[in-house]
Amino acid sequence: DTGVSQDPRHKITKRGQNVTFRCDPISEHNRLYWYRQTLGQGPEFLTYFQNEAQLEKSRLLSDRFSAERPKGSFSTLEIQRTEQGDSAMYLCASSYPGQGYGYTFGSGTRLTVV
Amino acid sequence: DAKTTQPPSMDCAEGRAANLPCNHSTISGNEYVYWYRQIHSQGPQYIIHGLKNNETNEMASLIITEDRKSSTLILPHATLRDTAVYYCIVPGGGNKLTFGTGTQLKVEL
């Protein structure tokens, strides 16, 4: 068990560029979550997958954001036409059925839009 | 999710017990209390959860009042590595956790 892995750890991009982040959950976890955290705030829910199905999306997930989990294993979060307001830590978490809300989080991807 | 209220910050001397309070007066009968912590530049880490009985694991103890309107997370012998933001969460069902701003615990020598 290597935990939840996120790549890259840090990303600096120019406004208007597209970025993609990757999350590798714990292998036996079929549930995967994306959160966003800005400075001084707690993490905010973005979206949830069960296996490959995206079952819930927050209103925070504007049409510039898209998340996929094509084979029910790793997931990607893409942000198109980045804006300065997208600067944040993007966190991924995973869990298995019966685990309740004791999720395992990755260390996050820190995005800075300049 | 039931609303939780936590103090914004607390200090604790290394080696002493850290007692972090949380109010959740609107909690309903079947809702659990979860605690997470987040060390600087890392993702949140699950600590412990409970329904009505006190709980203990290798990381901490959770004391829930009899009326379940408040709880206390206890770190029995705080170390510098326990410096973090501690979140008390009462999930209301569904598939997401709603984090507040938590309590910044600073453990000092």
Amino acid letter, residue B14: E
- B2 bridge partner residues: B90
**pLDDT at position A61 over 90:** no
**pLDDT at position A29 over 70:** yes
pLDDT at A1: 53
Q: What are φ and ψ of residue A72, in 5° steps?
A: 70, 15
pLDDT at B32: 94
Chain B CB contacts of A58 under 8 Å are 96
Chain B CB contacts of A42 under 8 Å are 85, 87, 99-102
Query: Mean of the pLDDT values across residues A62-69?
Result: 95
Higher pLDDT, A22 or A71: A22
Nearest to A48 among B32, B45, B95 (CB): B95
B95–A31: do the CB atoms touch at under 8 Å?
yes
Within a 13 Å sphere around the CA of A89, how many CA atoms are in the beta-carbon half? 23
pLDDT at B29: 83
B101/chain A closest Cα distance in angstroms: 5
pLDDT at A68: 97
**Pairing label, strands A19-24, A75-79:** antiparallel
Cis bond before residue A8 (omega within 30° of 0): yes
How many cross-chain Cβ pairs, A to B, lie less than 8 Å apart? 56
Report, as ranges of residue numbers, the positions in chain B whose pLDDT lies below 50. Answer: none
Please write the tens of the pLDDT for every residue from A75-107. Answer: 999 999 999 999 999 999 999 988 889 999 999
Q: How far is residue B69 from each of residues A34, A95, B8, measured CA to CA in Å?
A: 30, 28, 19
* Average pLDDT for chain A: 95
pLDDT at B95: 83
